[in-house]
Amino acid sequence: MERRSKIAYGLALVAAATLALAGCSGGGTPDAGATTAAGNDYGLVEAGTLTVCSDIPYPPFEFEGGDNGTGYTGFDIDMLGAVAKKLDLKLSVQDVGFDALQSGTTLQSGTCDVGASAMTITEDRKKNLDFSDPYYDSLQSLLVKTDSGIKDINGLSGKNVGVQQGTTGENYAKEHAKGANLVQYPSDGELWPAMQAGQIDAILQDQPVNFEHEKADKSYKIVETYKTNESYGFAFAKGQKDALLKAVNGALKDLKDSGESKKIYDTYFTAK
Amino acid sequence: MSTDLINLNAPAIDVRGLVKTYGDNEVLKGIDLSVHPGEVVCVIGPSGSGKSTLLRSVNLLERPTGGEVLIEGIDITDPDVDIDRVRTRIGMVFQSFNLFPHMSVLGNLTIAQRQVKKRGKAESEKVAKAMLERVGMAHKADAYPAQLSGGQQQRVAIARALCMNPDMMLFDEPTSALDPELVGEVLQVMRTLADEGMTMMVVTHEMGFAREVGSRLIFMDGGHILEEGDPREVLANPQHQRTKDFLARVL
Amino acid sequence: MALRRTQKQRLYRYAVYAVLIAIVVWIVVSTNWAKIGPLFFNPAIAAKMLPAIITTGLVNTIWFTAVAFAGGLVLGVLLALLKMSSIGPFRWIATAWIELFRGLPAVLTIFAIAFIVPIASGVPGQKLGGPVVLGLIGLILVASAYMAETIRAGLQAVPKGQTEAARSLGMSPMKTTFWIVVPQGFRIIIPPLTNEFVLLLKDTSLLFIAGAFIWSKELTTFARDATTQNSNATPLIMAAILYLIVTIPLTRFTAWLERRMARER
């Protein structure tokens, strides 16, 4: 072959390959979702199923166990299980990291339809997430060693206070625990051992989680609870799940009116 | 401690029934040898005869399997002996020089003086420079071993051993690793040492040195001493067939 | 068409280029830049992160790496010497230590030192040094186990004749090791140790599990927190870039060192 035709041959190869592969790129966006067999277009990740993302475990909101077939249970899971039933959908649960979930990344990437992870509705989060109507009013509390002599948040001055990274509890402590040394941990899985190991003198986090610890170990007790005017909501990828969001809100209202959500609440938050 | 009592009437080196075995291989099969102060004993023989092993047993670089080695009357095979102390009385020169590459020539000569003999910096440097003069290397005191030729490095190695003021010197094939034109300068230093009365035990292939400088020649083969005597005698009139064969090949 | 060998090779090369170009074009075309831009490369948030992401995050990362490296080095030399010892129990302790801390994931070791040790011993963690100190101790233990093997190989690579010469001069085994073997051994192990430094730098990202004060956050924790606070992943991208700015020159330096050592042999 002469040189000129060799170059032409090579260029033709390049052009052909590029066009061929570019033509395949049409399906890049994750939002070309499936429609359900019933014909409604919630834009579900998996047809006929409500796929939930949650940072597990975080008892009593989400943890392993139960018998709903997903392998997980807890207040959040049970609530969405009831919602899914109302919408005639199956329930599936995915364990994901809290950071990526609450920043919107996980939901944007199309891993799941809705995030349920004891997530507080905040203005910052609303930038990247749409929230359902509130389904739980957030309460924080202070857990200390019973014989530590700490009676309230002011007694934390100069002491190590454990908080969970990126939570309402952390923000509350930053604002109100004057003089305290905040020590941040990834989750309650480290907060609780840290308390037992004497690394920290108190834990400021969601009341239900502290409550579990107080129940389990009498040498620790909750000395104060804090109303935060904040609530938990279920999270959706911003602007992409309007139909589903509306349907979920409708289901939540039904559950409230029928008293079913109060029944689920009592299962987890009322002292037995 | 027994190391402090030097028996001045005892031979410098006294080897009695020395046996050395590596696994199944008996390298030394019962060696008896005495070296008296001022003697220059040269050990020759084919490779595998055990001559290096014998030499290295004298300062316990090889631990004998059987028999005894006495240095100035002290049995160094005794486990209670302070071998580091005894070794300060024996200087050793290796075939591959073994100078410390991360130190200058002066550093090589002073490190053991300062760490073992506890001499101060000024004193050890004075001794070092004097020894370097003796071997003709005073001008290279600040050089590093990598910058020196083989002959120069070996002369520095000899000076390093001398800085510890030993009573005797062991040489393990000191010129075998040198280019032929560098052998002479090292042999010259060794000859000067011998003339000054140093007790020496030398494993070597240099028959000329053995004949002219040695006071006794030992021929070893197969782990035994086969012949020993005046170097001129042994070299001119070997008695054993194996000695004859070896000398025929080498001379 | 009968192609000569060189023609075939050239054609093959063009085909490979074509495929590579096509892949890049496809990635660029099918990426949703409008979505990725604000979520990962947001200038406003990037500006907010500076200078703290460097003055707290990166500085802490470098400090922690230096401390863990120094501690690991000292312990590593000790372990290497123990492993080479003629005394059986010394060797066994060293081997057990090295196998344990090399076999466990670093994050679990840090967790164990920060939480299990205080709980098991009954001494409160704050008395033992608090989260930062205990976390670093955990990292030091891990570093020492990895460095011990490298150091031992280096020390054993020093020619036997060096030890023989030193002992023949009357130097004790300890003096010989300190003055003659270790200085020479170190030249050999500098490239692999530099490599260990880079690995440690990345392992500091595991210290978060021991607990972090606001001032003690290293780069990864800082970035993750900022990502949570701002609901935006730009801090994570910034942290990634900062890590690369430190690690890539170090790995290039290691490669240069290795070439230089090879030449000098």
Chains that touch B (3 or more CB pairs under 8 A): C
Whole-number average pLDDT of chain A: 84
pLDDT at residue A124, as a whole number: 82
Chain C residues with CB-CB distance to A99 below 8 A: 224, 227-228
pLDDT at residue B162, as a whole number: 95
A196 and C CB contact within 8 Å:
yes
Q: Which of B176-190, C32-46, C160-174 has the lowest mean pLDDT?
A: C32-46
B84–chain C nearest CA distance, Å: 4
Residue ranges of C 215-234 with Cβ closer than 8 A to chain A: 217, 221, 224-225, 227-233
C180 and B CB contact within 8 Å:
yes
C183 and B CB contact within 8 Å:
yes
Chains that touch A (3 or more CB pairs under 8 A): C
The residue with tokens 């031979």 is B11
Asked if C64 and C56 count as a contact pair (C-beta separation under 8 A), the reply is no
Beta bridge partners of residue B29, listed in sequence order: B19
Cα–Cα dist C140/C202, whole Å: 14
pLDDT at residue A45, as a whole number: 86
A28 and C CB contact within 8 Å:
yes
| Percentage, residues of chain A above pLDDT 90 | 46
Residue ranges of C 147-166 with Cβ closer than 8 A to chain B: 159, 161-162, 164-166
pLDDT at residue A165, as a whole number: 84
Beta bridge partners of residue A63, listed in sequence order: A73
* Cα–Cα distances in angstroms (integers) from residue B171 to residues A225, B61, B95, C53, in the given order: 87, 13, 8, 65
A29 falls in which pLDDT band (50, 70, 90)?
A: very low
pLDDT at residue B200, as a whole number: 95
Asked if C61 and A126 count as a contact pair (C-beta separation under 8 A), the reply is no
Chain B residues with CB-CB distance to C185 below 8 A: none
The residue with tokens 């299962």 is A267
| Percentage, residues of chain A above pLDDT 70 | 85
Chain A residues with CB-CB distance to C127 below 8 A: 198
Question: Which residue type does A186 have?
Answer: P
Three-state secondary-structure class, residue A206: strand
- The predicted model gives A107-125 an average pLDDT of 90
Residue of B63, B115, B117 to mutate when probing chain C, most C C-beta within 10 A: B115
pLDDT at residue C48, as a whole number: 84
pLDDT at residue A4, as a whole number: 60
Asked if A92 and A132 count as a contact pair (C-beta separation under 8 A), the reply is no
Cα–Cα dist B155/A24, whole Å: 78
pLDDT at residue C195, as a whole number: 86
Question: Contact A10/C18, CB-based, under 8 Å?
Answer: yes
Name which residue leads in pLDDT, C101 or A13.
Answer: C101
Chain C residues with CB-CB distance to A200 below 8 A: 211
pLDDT at residue A36, as a whole number: 43
Highest-confidence range of A1-10, C131-140, C218-227, by mean pLDDT? C131-140
Q: Tell me the count of B-C CB pairs closer than 8 A.
A: 61
**Rounded (10°) CA dihedral C254, C259, C263, C265:** 50
Asked if B31 and B8 count as a contact pair (C-beta separation under 8 A), the reply is no
Q: State yes or no: pLDDT of A39 exceeds 60.
A: no
* ipTM of this complex: 0.91
Q: For Cα atoms C229, C235, C238, give the angle at the middle one, nearest 5 degrees.
A: 170
Beta bridge partners of residue B21, listed in sequence order: B26
pLDDT at residue A16, as a whole number: 60
Asked if A181 and C214 count as a contact pair (C-beta separation under 8 A), the reply is no
Per-residue b or e along A54-69, where b marks 16 or more CB atoms closer than 10 Å to that residue's CB: bbbbbbbbbbeeeeee
pLDDT at residue C52, as a whole number: 85
Residue A227 has a CB neighbour count (10 Å cut-off) of 10
Residue C129 has a CB neighbour count (10 Å cut-off) of 16
| Percentage, residues of chain C above pLDDT 90 | 53
pLDDT at residue A41, as a whole number: 75
Whole-number average pLDDT of chain C: 89
Q: State yes or no: pLDDT of C197 exceeds 60.
A: yes
- The predicted model gives A237-242 an average pLDDT of 90
pLDDT at residue A9, as a whole number: 62
**Phi, psi angle pair for C159, to nearest 5°:** -55, 145
pLDDT at residue B140, as a whole number: 93
Q: What is the pTM of this model?
A: 0.70
Asked if B162 and B134 count as a contact pair (C-beta separation under 8 A), the reply is yes
- Parallel, antiparallel, or unpaired: how do β-strands B40-44 and B199-203 relate? parallel
pLDDT at residue A215, as a whole number: 85
Q: State yes or no: pLDDT of A8 exceeds 70.
A: no
The token pair that represents A266 in the structure block: 């009592």
Cα-Cα-Cα-Cα dihedral sign, residues C194, C196, C200, C201? positive
Residue of C155, C168, C178 to mutate when probing chain B, most B C-beta within 10 A: C168
Q: State yes or no: pLDDT of C39 exceeds 80.
A: no
| Percentage, residues of chain C above pLDDT 70 | 97
- H or E segment at C77? helix C59-83
The token pair that represents B58 in the structure block: 């004298």
A102 and C CB contact within 8 Å:
yes
pLDDT at residue A38, as a whole number: 45
Question: Contact A197/C22, CB-based, under 8 Å?
Answer: no
Q: Tell me the count of A-C CB pairs closer than 8 A.
A: 150
Tens of pLDDT along chain B (251 residues) come to 344 555 666 789 999 999 999 989 999 999 999 999 999 999 999 988 999 999 999 999 999 999 999 999 899 999 999 999 999 999 999 999 999 999 999 999 999 999 999 999 999 999 999 999 999 999 999 999 999 999 999 999 999 999 999 999 999 999 999 999 999 999 999 999 999 999 999 999 999 999 999 999 999 999 999 999 999 999 999 999 999 999 988 87
C26–chain A nearest CA distance, Å: 5
